Amino acid sequence: MSIHIHWFRRDLRLEDHRALHEAAKLNTPIVGLFIFDTDILDKLEDKHDLRVQFIHEQLQLMKNKLEEHGSSLVVKYGKPLDIWKNLTESYPVVSVSAVRDYEPYAKKRDKEVYDFLSSKNVKFTGYKDQVIFEKSEVVKKDGGTYTVFTPYRKAWESLLTEDHYREFKVDFSSFAKLEKMQIPSLTEMGFRQSEHANFPDNKLKSQILNNYHETRDTPSINGTSRLSVHLRFGTISIRSLVRAAIHKNQVYLSELIWRDFYQMTLYHFPECVNRAIKPKYDRIQWDNNENHFKAWCEGKTGYPLVDAGMRELNTTGYMHNRVRMVVASFLTKHLLIDWRWGERYFAEKLLDFDLSANVGGWQWAAGCGNDAAPYFRVFNPTTQAEKFDPNNTYIKKHIREWGTSAYPKPIVDHKFARERALERYKKALTE
Ligand SMILES: Cc1cc2nc3c(=O)[nH]c(=O)nc-3n(C[C@H](O)[C@H](O)[C@H](O)COP(=O)(O)OP(=O)(O)OC[C@H]3O[C@@H](n4cnc5c(N)ncnc54)[C@H](O)[C@@H]3O)c2cc1C
């Protein structure tokens, strides 16, 4: 018997799945595989990492579903190339599929596996599934890459056809019959289960979608979809969200386009992970005061909206988008701390951490990324709080001691910090 292996990575679902849909046409029994990659896991310092738990829970659900259909899921723990060497020695693998991933590490890993499989005459096919448009599908008329969002969005919308967001059904009869298998436990992999994990649903509620344009900027209410973790791990299909949003809410659709935009940017400018997209911004002299950074991380800057956001992040692994913009602007402009420090802190803490959106969001906030706005836009954290949390509901929820003498005084004066930032940026850009 020959088998086809589908390698799950950021596509942890069994519905509306392009690669599984296409693989069924091969008429070769499909075996699903997931690898807990030690190259990634070994770098995670927090052994309660909720993302690992999220993946683990999702794999269990997928495995149960496949077992209902007489198949199962193969889950391995180790280095991907070693696992592939073992698998091709042990099983009659004739072809492999995966969903394309545009992060630098993933591209390198996939190239190595591709080269190895080719040497064994095993065909490895990648599919576009986690974005609507990838690579150079949305480019300027002269073939150049868009670096500003609005013209990209317009081009994206003009190219969109129903085919881009059609559903790809999964045929369960195409999976191989397999014995039930064990998924390595979190403990076996050196991680621990958190009792307090509270993952959001992977459903887009119609009430959220209908009112999104009015509710999305209020951090105290459930006014956004909370689907970022599901988009991160592919536990919901991006096409299903475009189908839902397309004639209902353009503002929501636009947020999904931002996601494509940042993935495209990372694909074309992989160096943006460490370098400013606008090179002159790498000349900024950051202060990088470690005490200020610590106060920011702990939510003790004395600016309530900033502190509430950081405490929300530290306790839940999530932060509202409006507040992400405010805390990122505060770190880079008020405290003059390098955006890369903030990006790395978010990367450790966010359940929805996605390299492209995180680097994109941080470079946007620091003014050095794909943004048409000038650097001298400096968010005022106090007026942002008055506008978006007028009754202090969000602030009170996350800062117990707010309004008491236990709450810290501002670590920096707003007016002074704003002027200092403008001066420092100006110096770097005009030198
Ligand atoms: C400094 C900073 C860092 C960020 N880091 C991340 C990150 O690591 N991972 C991440 O998924 N998002 C990141 N974002 C974008 C955004 O804050 C989150 O996607 C959003 O808050 C998630 O909540 P939601 O699912 O309720 O979003 P909704 O408002 O319901 O939006 C729907 C979906 O659209 C996408 N989206 C929305 N806004 C953006 C955006 N600005 N850029 C890219 N995609 C977007 C997300 O996939 C989101 O789930 C960051 C933003 C900033 C300013």
Structure confidence at residue 1 (pLDDT): 84
Mean per-residue pLDDT, 243-250:
97
User: Does 108 reside within a domain?
Assistant: yes
- Tokens linked to 389: 């949390």
pLDDT tier for residue 131 given thresholds of 50, 70 and 90: very high
Backbone phi, then psi, for 5, in 5-degree steps?
-105, 130
pLDDT tens digits for 6-32?
999 999 999 999 999 999 999 999 999
Q: What is the pLDDT of residues 374-404, one digit of tens each?
A: 777 899 999 999 999 999 999 999 999 999 9
Per the DSSP assignment, residues forming a β-bridge with 99 are 127
In a domain, 195, yes or no: no
- Cα of 99 vs centre of ligand 1, distance in Å, is 21
Query: What average pLDDT does this structure show over 309-333?
Result: 97
Are residues 386 and 309 part of one domain?
A: yes
By C-alpha distance, which of 428, 310, 306, 429 is closest to 379?
A: 306
Same domain, 123 and 154: no
Give the whole-number percent of the chain exceeding pLDDT 70: 100
Is residue 339 over pLDDT 80? yes
Ligand 1 centroid to residue 286 C-alpha, Å: 26
Residue 305 in any domain: the answer is yes
Full residue range of the structural domain in which residue 139 is found = 132-165+205-268
Query: Domain for residue 215, yes or no?
Result: yes
Of 211, 286, 314, 380, the catalytic one is: 286
Q: pLDDT tens across 257-281, in order? A: 999 999 999 999 999 999 999 999 9
Closest ligand 1 atom number to CA of residue 362: 1
Question: Does the residue 190 lie in any domain?
Answer: no
Q: Which is the closest atom of ligand 1 to the Cα of 261?
A: 43
Residue 376 confidence (pLDDT): 79
Containing 93, the helix (H) or strand (E) segment is strand 93-99
Q: Please say which residue of 213, 240, 268 terminates a domain.
A: 268
Question: Taking 90 as the threshold, does the pLDDT of residue 426 lie above it?
Answer: yes
Give a yes or no: residue 15 inside a domain: yes
User: What's the pLDDT band for 194 if we cut at 50, 70, 90?
Assistant: confident
Comparing 188-197, 365-374, 381-390, the range with the smallest average pLDDT is 365-374
Atom 4, ligand 1: residue with shortest CA distance: 358
Angle at 355 (CA atoms; ends 365, 383), nearest 5 degrees: 25
- pLDDT, average across residues 212-236: 98
Give the pLDDT confidence of 59-91 residue by residue, as tens digits.
Answer: 999 999 999 999 999 999 999 999 999 999 999
Q: Which burial class, exposed, middle or buried, applies to 65 when counting CB atoms under 10 A from its CB (0-12, 13-18, 19+)? A: middle
- Same structural domain, 92 and 236: no
- The answer to whether residue 258 is catalytic is yes
Instruction: Give the position, in ligand 1's atom list, of the atom nearest the Cα of 256.
Output: 34
- Does the annotation mark 402 as catalytic? no
268, 284, 316: which is the final residue of a domain?
268
Residue of the nearest CA to atom 8 in ligand 1? Answer: 353
The candidate with the shortest Cα–Cα distance to 169, out of 17, 61, 29, is 17
How many other CB atoms are there within 10 angstroms of residue 431's CB atom? Answer: 7
Is residue 372 predicted with pLDDT exceeding 80? no
Nearest by Cα to 277 from 368, 213, 375: 368
- Has residue 189 been placed in a domain? no
Mean per-residue pLDDT of the chain = 96
Entry pTM: 0.98
Residue 238 has pLDDT above 80, yes or no: yes
